[in-house]
Amino acid sequence: MKWVLHPLLVGLISVPLAEAFKGGSPPSLSSLCGNLCPIHGHPTSLSPFRRKEGANVWSSASPKRKYKHYYHAYVNGGEEHKPWGHTTTRARVTKKTLAALQQKGDTENSAKCSTTPGNSSIGENNLANVPNRDGENGEEGQEEEVYFVSTPVYYANDKPHIGHAYCNVLSDIICRFAKWECAEGRRRARVILFSGMDEHGLKIERKSEMLKISTSEHVNNMNSYYKMMNQKLHVHVNIFYRTTSQFHKSFVQQVWKYLAENGYIYKGTYKGYYDINEEKYLNEFELKQKKKNDPNVVYIEEDNSYFFNILKFKNFLTDFYQRNEEVIYPSYLQKEMLHFVNHELKDVCISRYNTQWGIKIPGEEKGTIYVWFDALLSYVSSVLYMVKRTQLRRGNDSRVINSSLGIDSSHGAQSNMSPQSAPSNGVEMDEVDSGELVCSYEDVLSLVGLENSRHKEKALPSDVIPPHGDTLSSLFQKAWNPQVQVIGKDILKFHGVLYICLLKSLNLKLPKKIICHGLIKSENVKMSKSIGNVISPFDVVQKYDPDIIRLYFFGCANIYEDKNFKEAHLESFQLFVRNNMGNLLYRVVSLCKDNNYMHIVQDGQPDFLESPILRQCSEMKDKLLTLIHNREFALFLENLMTLIKQVNKFFVHEAPWKCTDDSVRFNRIIYETLEGIKFVSVFLYPIMPQICSSILRNIGLDVSSVGGAALGMLAEPTREFALRDLIKIV
């Protein structure tokens, strides 16, 4: 009789055997798989099933399910290896090495994982000691499921101005370039763009009273304007979220309860001056900058105030910014942030009693939650909402959840609904029932990593995946990966301190990069809806092509410094595109059409790639990608502008109109010119998607069917350019 081992068992046994024999001594059976049940043979120490299920459950389980539980027990107890033949990605969990378990002991590890929210232990920085699923300083794990880019949540007291348009366009361009990076394999991630509305607070209440309409009607109107602005400027938002949604309100209240139970929120007395326009309390320096008798600055004395204990995070913040020197861009702002943390940090009052238009404080008859505390949690709330909604309605398939987040598994362009068709709860997705779904306290615990702490007798062991699929916690961790946060530098303190501390208190991943752009000013004065010196993006769009506005934002509105908005700058960018790209394309196509050369093919001669234009494009590709990766936007655009000028110069110098009878030479000149046009159009596509799509379509490269221009188009020279009719691009 011949015995044959199943391949899965071979994989499970071979890897730990190889690792164990590295030390020179044979391993014991218990060191490989723990203590085996003497009756049924399953590893009891790793608890693949609940003990209450009994031996019958194990014996009746399918081989596939047994293997899944053995695999989870293995990766949680051993080195970071996969059994031979294992390919599923569902089972990725945070791995605890055997050495770590031996050092800390199973008892200590169990005690840590079963910490209850009300009795969480306090670490050396006075922070609640919860299981840390992130890397050091909140870094994400090795596997990136989502590349999350976010704009601010815009305050809904008035219509958007040109500064809001700049921020959204910049975020959209960053997303489009990030998709390239993902498609090229530099990152294993799928890109989504978040934007939304902050719809609570005293200013909004006063504005609606002034307009003699309800606050709900007012914020609905403002919501429509922001979505219309995104649509007109070709900004593709995957998640458009509103803080007046029922789910967000419940989420903020449950987070408040969790933070209060863990000592992050306390009661106290506040005395000081408050700026209604900026929705913040003023320190002595800020108060001196205000005009005397400013009606928007009021003195407040409130005995029943609630404070968020930011001082608990002081050591953490200092360490975080010292260890991660490039989190905030530009870097000089990070130095300012570190100085603020070390010298000016203080607890934040997070309760308000001067307005009823806000989220109610849990357990209090009066008072609302501070609008910034509320708004900053919307980034987390929006992702949790989408995950929870999809989990409840479609099952726990992470692929379906990725799809519902607008994540395309091919890393291509992501489809979006028309802004006018977004549902009332504010998430720009398919049909939703905003009144049905709310956030529970257990949902918040699942984010923190304490989802099993309140009902341990009903919960599966932490290393076991339930039969129906992934847990809410694991699904959220895959979807929550904040890579880039784009904000104006005037709100950096809120995002760089309060937001970071909120994420840390919830044990969530922190942003990898906070990009703080300069402000768009009007006559050297910061644009403000409250001051009334704003420039409407809708007025500008009526006069200029949206892609020209996008190019202006990318090239002229320097991210390092504030800039005055000037239409003369828009004119100069429009002229550049018209003269250097539109005019060149028109001359090439008209020349070919007049001489019946509508199909330009690749020259097969050996020295073909020695052409100066093609060689210059080839050498510039990596340089341009590096500039984008390093956020050197001005240099990136400068290099592309120089290149298109060189292509124009080449076309004029070679004078193809003089050699229409020489088909070989004519074809060669036109082909190299078109390759230069293609190269520039592909790299400008994330900035000017409509104009560049028209150019590429006109030379026979229709990118609309494949979701837009991609770097893969530049991997090889084009075999044939099939020219079309003459067009005017600007």
Identify which of 194, 255, 226, 176 has the alpha carbon closest to the alpha carbon of residue 383.
Answer: 194
Classify each residue of 286-298 as buried b or exposed e, where b means 16 or more C-beta atoms within 10 Å of its C-beta. Answer: eeeeeeeeeeebe
Domain residue spans in the chain? 7-104, 566-722
The set of residues, in sequence order, having a beta carbon less than 8 Å from that of 163 and lying 6+ positions away, is: 488, 519, 520, 527, 534
Report pLDDT for 47.
37
Query: H-type helices in 449-516, by residue range?
Result: 472-479, 492-493, 500-505
**pLDDT, tens digit (0-9, with 9 covering 90-100), for 226-284:** 999 999 999 999 999 999 999 999 999 999 999 999 999 999 988 878 887 777 777 77
High-pLDDT (> 90) share of the chain, %? 51
Query: Residue 103: its pLDDT value, please?
Result: 41
pTM above 0.75, yes or no: yes
Question: What are 495-543's pLDDT values in tens digits?
Answer: 999 999 999 999 999 999 999 999 888 888 887 766 778 899 999 999 9
Q: Could you tell me which of 160, 51, 121, 702 has the C-alpha nearest to residue 419?
A: 160
Asked whether 603 and 671 are in contact (CB, 8 A), the reply is yes
Are 193 and 150 in contact by the 8 Å Cβ rule? The answer is yes
Q: Is the pLDDT of residue 389 over 80?
A: yes
What is the percent of the chain where pLDDT is above 70?
69
- Rounded CA-CA distance 21/27 in Å is 7
Place of tokens 């099939």: 722
Write out the H or E segment, with its range, that includes residue 395.
none
When pLDDT is cut at 50, 70 and 90, the band that residue 706 belongs to is: confident
**From CA 384, how far away is CA 424, in angstroms rounded?**
18
CA-to-CA dists, residue 654 to 132, 568, 647, angstroms = 64, 34, 11
* pLDDT for the residue 413: 31
Q: What is the pLDDT of residue 400?
A: 53
- Residues 277 and 292 sit within 8 Å (Cβ to Cβ): no
Give the pLDDT confidence of 629-654 residue by residue, as tens digits: 888 998 999 999 999 999 999 999 99
Q: Which of 189, 145, 90, 133 is nearest to 396 (CA)?
A: 90
Helices assigned H by DSSP within 462-526: 472-479, 492-493, 500-505
How many whole angstroms from its chain centre is CA 285? 35
Cβ atoms of 90 and 465 within 8 Å: the answer is yes
pLDDT at 655: 96
265 pairs with which residues across the strands? Answer: 308
Chain-centroid distance of CA 133 in Å reads 19
Between 542 and 451, name the one with better pLDDT.
Answer: 542
Please check the confidence at residue 378 and state whether its pLDDT lies above 50.
yes
Buried b or exposed e, range 107-145, using 16+ CB within 10 angstroms: eeeeeebebebeebeeeeeebbebbebbeeebebbeebb
- Determine the pLDDT at residue 295: 77
pLDDT band with cut points at 50, 70 and 90 for residue 398 = low
Beta bridge partners of 164: none
Between CA 493 and CA 499, with CA 498 as vertex, the angle to 5 degrees is: 100
pLDDT band at 129 (very low <50, low <70, confident <90, very high): low
Split at pLDDT 50, 70, 90, the class of 605 is low
Using N-to-C axis directions, what is the helix angle for 583-594 and 663-684, rounded to 10°?
Answer: 150
**pLDDT at residue 621, as a whole number:** 93
Token digits of residue 255? 């987070």
Q: How high is the mean pLDDT of the chain?
A: 77
* C-alpha–C-alpha distance, residues 526 and 531, integer Å: 9
Fold of 566-722: Isoleucyl-tRNA Synthetase; Domain 1 (1.10.730)
Q: How many CB atoms lie within 10 A of CB 712?
A: 12
Alpha-carbon span 399 to 522, nearest angstrom? 46
Using the predicted structure, report yes or no on whether residue 197 has a pLDDT greater than 60.
Answer: yes
Q: Residue 384's pLDDT is what?
A: 96
Query: Residue 455: pLDDT above 90?
Result: no
Tens digit of pLDDT for each residue in 575-593?
999 999 999 999 999 999 9
